[in-house]
């Protein structure tokens, strides 16, 4: 006998899929900003990347996009966290995910908060100098902001690999909300 | 429910779910395309420009002259970096140089009559790098109190003698206690490429607003032109 089991509530599916393009735009515009002064890459890589991705001399564009989409990214993230807490959905994590998954999903939410805070410290390093100070100063905040983003990319790769491995039934549940369970 | 019913229900939910997803993805893509094809205002698509201005309104509401840029020690000073020669290319006779402000033409000695200020702060370039610099000069607020209208307007504009570079400033940032008209850098007179004889040191702004070789300061209620603000950057560029 097979049956349909509710897996992901509608709200969580929307938060998840809205976050995907928003994070992509934040990372892309962040790359445009980063390559104005690529502090963490050797010069050789710098020039190759410029040519391959056409990311040179696009700082103004990157900043304008970043400071537009940051609001959408931040609001979506905050609403997601509020929803998960208020609806009690977080309690179900124990039944839905294994230990490693729970750890990874908690980490990604904390990383999101870290990105917002380190971003604010870079954006307004005088008005929020205490925040920059907590991260080791202005350059420290930039360091945190950058490596958190590398963390997202790493998470994304593992996440997609896991979804592929888990199969269609699992992926479909993230879109339609229910999963087929064979008893 | 029989297996057949389950299959039917699954089919229905799948169709509905993926249709919604396709519509949402299409709407998102159309929204992005719309955004990126809007007419530009000073180099940025107008919705992006509007958002920069909305962010500015918020930042100006939160801004406080009591919040200071972190101060550093002498041993923290880093190698100065020359970045940008805009407005410095034309020849300059240092003896003939004057600061034009509110009808007056001041020499460096005139400016030295104001209380001397020294600070070691971080100069943050909009590109991302930063340096620690010791600036000495006089507070812009002090000069404005003496050479300025009793009722200060909303903005200030500064330009190089050849107008090759110009910046616009909101009045609050101009009055910030760490905003200096600097004539010395790291304990020595300003080198030419760092803006001799007089430059702005304004740590509540990105480096782009720290204009070198100031020729004229103007008061205005009309938002003044800003070299990089006209080229797609945030006009406010404030920290």
Cis link prior to B197 (omega < 30° from 0)? yes
Could you report the per-residue pLDDT of A21-47, keeping only the tens digit for each?
A: 999 999 999 999 998 888 887 767 777
Q: Domains, chain B, ranges and CATH?
A: 71-231 (3.90.420.10)
Could you report the per-residue pLDDT of B66-118, keeping only the tens digit for each?
A: 999 999 999 999 999 998 889 999 999 999 999 999 999 999 999 999 999 99
Q: Give the integer Cα–Cα distance in Å for B132 and B124.
A: 9
**Residue B40 banded pLDDT, cuts 50, 70, 90:** very high
Measure the CA angle with vertex B170, ends B166 and B172; round to 5°: 135
B238 neighbourhood in chain A, CB within 8 Å = 124
> With an 8 Å Cβ cutoff, are A177 and B48 in contact?
no
Provide, rounded to the nearest whole percent, the portion of chain B with pLDDT above 90.
Answer: 95
Question: What average pLDDT does chain B have?
Answer: 96
Q: Is B59 on the interface with A (CB under 8 A)?
A: yes
| Residue B146 in tokens | 């003496």
A181 neighbourhood in chain B, CB within 8 Å = none
> With an 8 Å Cβ cutoff, are A172 and B17 in contact?
yes
Q: Give the integer Cα–Cα distance in Å for B53 and B146.
A: 31
B65 neighbourhood in chain A, CB within 8 Å = none
A21 neighbourhood in chain B, CB within 8 Å = 28, 32
Q: Domains, chain A, ranges and CATH?
A: 2-182 (1.20.950.20)
Provide, rounded to the nearest whole percent, the portion of chain B with pLDDT above 70.
Answer: 100
pLDDT of residue A92: 83
Residues in chain A: 183
Q: Give the integer Cα–Cα distance in Å for A126 and B69.
A: 5
B170 and B224 Cβ atoms separated by less than 8 Å: no
Q: Lowest-pLDDT range, A56-60, B28-32, B54-58, B185-189?
A: A56-60
Using N-to-C axis directions, what is the helix angle for A10-34 and B3-36, rounded to 10°? Answer: 30
- Choose among B91, B16, B76: nearest CA to A177: B16
Query: Is A55 a residue whose pLDDT tops 90?
Result: no
Could you report the per-residue pLDDT of B111-169, keeping only the tens digit for each?
A: 999 999 999 999 999 999 999 999 999 999 999 999 999 999 999 999 999 999 999 99
- Give 3-state DSSP helix, strand, coil % of chain A, rounded to 5: 80, 5, 15
Of the residues A23, A35, A55, A64, the best mutation for testing chain B's interface (the one with the most B CB atoms within 10 Å of its CB) is A64
Q: CA of B97, closest CA in chain A: separation in Å?
A: 33
**Residue B3 banded pLDDT, cuts 50, 70, 90:** confident
Q: Is B172 on the interface with A (CB under 8 A)?
A: no
> With an 8 Å Cβ cutoff, are B6 and A3 in contact?
yes
Question: What average pLDDT does chain A have?
Answer: 92
Q: Mean pLDDT over residues A7-33, rounded? A: 95
> With an 8 Å Cβ cutoff, are A1 and B49 in contact?
no
> With an 8 Å Cβ cutoff, are B48 and A64 in contact?
yes
> With an 8 Å Cβ cutoff, are A4 and B9 in contact?
yes
Residues of chain A contacting B, Cβ within 8 Å: 1-4, 17, 21, 25, 33-34, 36-37, 39, 59-61, 63-65, 67-68, 71, 124-127, 129, 132-133, 137-139, 142, 172, 175-178, 180
Q: Is B28 on the interface with A (CB under 8 A)?
A: yes
């Amino acid at each position: 006998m097979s049956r349909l089991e509710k897996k992901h509530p509608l709200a969580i599916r929307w938060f998840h899929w809205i976050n995907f393009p928003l994070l992509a735009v934040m990372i892309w515009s962040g790359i445009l900003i980063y390559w104005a002064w690529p502090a963490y890459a050797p010069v050789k890589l710098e020039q190759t990347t410029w040519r391959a991705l056409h990311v040179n001399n696009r700082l103004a564009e990157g900043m304008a996009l970043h400071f537009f989409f940051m609001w959408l990214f931040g609001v979506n993230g905050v609403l997601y966290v509020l929803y998960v807490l208020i609806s009690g959905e977080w309690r179900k994590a124990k039944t839905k995910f294994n230990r490693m998954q729970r750890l990874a999903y908690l980490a990604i939410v904390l990383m999101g908060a870290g990105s917002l805070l380190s971003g604010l410290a870079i954006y307004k390093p005088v008005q929020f100098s205490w925040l920059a100070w907590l991260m080791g100063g202005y350059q420290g905040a930039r360091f945190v902001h950058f490596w958190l983003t590398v963390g997202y990319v790493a998470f994304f790769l593992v996440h997609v690999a896991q979804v592929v491995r888990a199969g269609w039934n699992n992926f479909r549940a993230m879109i339609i909300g229910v999963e087929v369970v064979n008893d | 429910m029989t297996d057949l019913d389950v299959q039917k229900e699954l089919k229905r939910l799948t169709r509905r779910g993926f249709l919604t997803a396709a519509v949402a993805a299409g709407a998102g893509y159309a929204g992005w395309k719309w955004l990126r094809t809007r007419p530009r205002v000073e180099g940025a698509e107008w919705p992006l420009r509007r958002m920069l201005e909305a962010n500015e309104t918020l930042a100006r509401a939160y801004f406080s002259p009591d919040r200071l840029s972190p101060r550093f020690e002498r041993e923290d000073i880093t190698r100065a970096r020359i970045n940008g020669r805009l407005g410095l290319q034309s020849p300059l006779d240092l003896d003939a140089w004057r600061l034009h402000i509110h009808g007056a033409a001041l020499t460096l000695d005139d400016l030295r009559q104001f209380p001397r200020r020294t600070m070691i702060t971080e100069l943050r370039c909009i590109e991302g790098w930063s340096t620690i610099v010791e600036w000495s000069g006089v507070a812009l607020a002090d000069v404005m109190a003496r050479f300025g209208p009793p009722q200060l307007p909303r903005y200030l504009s500064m330009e190089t003698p050849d107008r090759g570079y110009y910046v616009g400033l909101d009045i609050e940032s101009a009055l910030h206690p760490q905003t200096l008209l600097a004539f010395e850098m790291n304990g020595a007179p300003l080198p030419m490429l760092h803006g001799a004889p007089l430059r702005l040191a304004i740590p509540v702004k990105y480096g782009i607003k720290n204009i070198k070789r100031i020729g004229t300061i103007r008061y205005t209620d009309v938002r003044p032109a800003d070299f990089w603000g006209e080229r797609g950057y945030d006009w406010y560029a404030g920290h």
